[in-house]
Amino acid sequence: MDRKKLVDQSIDHIIQHLDDDLSLDSISAQFYISKYHFSRIFKEETGESIYAFMKRCKIDQSAIDMKLNPMKTVTDIGLDYGYSSSNYSSVFRKHHDTSPSMFRQSIPTHSMPVPFSPERTAHFKTVKEYAAQIEIQEFPDLFVIYERFIGNYVDIEKNWYLFLDKYKAFMNEKTILAERFFNDPAITKASQCICDICMTVGQDCTLDNVMWINGGKWIVYHFQGEINDIFETLQGVFNVWLPESGYKMAKRYGLNIYRHIDRGCHQVVMYLCIPVS
The pLDDT value given to residue 21? 85
**Residue spans in the chain of domains classed CATH 3.20.80.10:** 134-275
Q: What strand order describes the sheet that includes 194-200? A: 134-139, 216-226, 267-275, 254-262, 177-181, 194-200, 142-150, 210-213
The pLDDT value given to residue 119? 85
CATH of domain 134-275: 3.20.80.10
Three-state DSSP at 112 gives: strand
CATH architecture of 3-105: Orthogonal Bundle (1.10)
Residue pLDDT tens, the chain, 277 long: 689 899 999 999 999 998 888 899 999 999 999 999 999 999 999 999 999 999 999 999 999 999 999 999 999 999 999 998 889 999 999 999 999 999 999 999 999 999 888 789 999 999 999 999 999 999 999 999 999 999 999 899 999 999 999 999 999 999 999 999 999 999 999 999 999 999 999 999 999 999 999 999 999 999 999 998 999 999 999 999 999 999 999 888 999 999 999 999 999 999 999 999 8
**Residue spans in the chain of domains classed CATH 1.10.10.60:** 3-105
Instruction: For residue 114, list its beta bridge partners.
Output: 117
Instruction: For residue 199, list its beta bridge partners.
Output: 145, 177
Q: 232: closest CA among 171, 147, 153?
A: 153
DSSP letters of 76-108? HHHHHTT--HHHHHHHHHHHHSS-HHHHHHT--
The pLDDT value given to residue 34? 94
